Structure 1
Amino acid sequence: MNNLKALNWRYAAKKFDREKILSDEKLNILKESFNLTATSYGLQPLKMLVISNKELQAKLRKHSMDQQQVDSASHLLIICIEKDVDEIFIRNYFERVKHIRETPEEIIKPFQEYLVEDFRTKAKIEIEAWAINQAYLALGTLLTVCATEEIDSCPMEGFEPEKYEAELNLQAKNLKPVLVLPVGYRAGDDIFSEFKKVRRPLEEVIIQID
């Protein structure tokens, strides 16, 4: 499926077919896509939970405004931000750069020290807001890949993060859930799949400067 056809096919699924489960191959594509998404400085202040336990999905539905997609989906993806993006986190990133790219220390060090100092001066709430922005970048990547792979999805902000944290013991993992993405295959009786897309005309949203 080409990109535009895929994006026109995509919609926010309101109801999933409980009997249709993503293959390991499809699931691995989503995992790899999440890991390959763009993030600021390449720091990846994110982790993603992949849940297929139906009892757990049913519990999480209670903390998701009772949205049926949460437990009817094949899998529930939860995008979380790291709570501590600190000096250790940043230095670990540059160690990976040195290991993978074999970049000399003298080339890496100036930018490494700049980032360490920059993040040291930021308030925790500012770093959290920055990390949440990275989560939305990852969500965009996942939605696009889902569309091209003909995997249905439904991006969600409507859930109770604190209750997700407690249910999933995310405090122990030092993570904060910020976005939820049920994925799977649309139910045959989901009437929303047949609705025409409602978008502003292209000339209203594109400003071309030649």
Structure 2
Amino acid sequence: MSLLDKLEWRYATKKFDSTKKIPADQLNQVLEAIRLAPSSYGLQQFRLLVVSDHAIREKLAAAAWNQPQLLEASHVLVFAAETKLDTAFVDANIELTAKVRNIGTETLAGWKNMIGDGIKLRSNGDVLVHWAQKQAYIGLGIAISVAAELGLDSCPMEGFDPEEFDQILGLKEKNLTATVILPVGYRSEDDGYIQLAKVRRPADEFFIAY
């Protein structure tokens, strides 16, 4: 099947088969794809939490109006945006870039200043956090696509209390905030949504050509 066929096959799974677990090699492919996702300036303004512990997932489910996907899926991925995008955060990225590319940090001074200017432009109110959250959604899209390519089901979800998630997972102390979640696993055969036709706008109504 082509990627387009896989995207046609996938749907936001409402009921997972709790007896099936994703093999470690396939889970790692999804995680690595998220790590490789593009982000503004390549800063990776979000982190990924991989939750398999049942006791923690019970608490998270309670903070997500007891939606069953959080308990039935093989794993729950929590995309958490960085809340402290400051000089230290940028410096760490510059040092990593210099190390990976085997160059001196001084050669990246112009790039560092450009990033700094970009952060200053977004420094009012919650703009920086919203910017980081947008990067998390890029990772989410990558995750959904790669999961489908591997024949894995998923369900992107915003229906949860971010503050409660932050408390349960200790995210505030890590300068993070829960942004969006993605339970992944295998659909249950009695999920009533399996046979429903995918509803999308027709191409001639969706695309706008200039």
Q: Which range, TM-score by smaller chain? A: over 0.9
Partner of 2:14: 14
TM-score normalized by structure 2? 0.95
Alignment of 1:132-171 (within 5 A): 132-171=133-172
Compared CA separation, residues 197 and 208, structure 1 to 2 (3 A): same
CA-based RMSD: 1.3
Confirm or deny: 8 A CA contact 1:87 1:120 kept in the other structure: no
One-letter amino acid of the counterpart of residue 60, structure 1: L
Partner of 1:54: 54
One-letter amino acid of the counterpart of residue 140, structure 1: G
Compared CA separation, residues 44 and 124, structure 1 to 2 (3 A): farther
Confirm or deny: 8 A CA contact 2:78 2:180 kept in the other structure: yes
Partner of 2:194: 193
TM-score normalized by structure 1? 0.95
| CA shift for structure 1 position 124 | 4.5
Partner of 2:43: 43
| CA shift for structure 1 position 97 | 1.1
One-letter amino acid of the counterpart of residue 203, structure 1: D
Q: Structure 1: how far apart are the matches of 2:4 and 2:35?
A: 24
Moved over 4 A (4+): none
Paired-residue identity, %: 37
Instruction: Say which SS state the counterpart of residue 194 (structure 1) adopts.
Output: coil
Q: Which moved more, 1:58-67 or 1:180-189?
A: 58-67
Q: Which moved more, 1:177-186 or 1:57-66?
A: 57-66
What 5-or-longer segments of structure 1 have no aligned partner? none
One-letter amino acid of the counterpart of residue 25, structure 1: D
Confirm or deny: 8 A CA contact 2:94 2:105 kept in the other structure: no
Alignment of 1:96-135 (within 5 A): 96-120=96-120, 122-135=123-136
What 5-or-longer segments of structure 2 have no aligned partner? none
Count of matched residue positions in the alignment of Structure 1 and Structure 2: 209
Residues 1:205 and 2:206 are matched in the alignment: yes
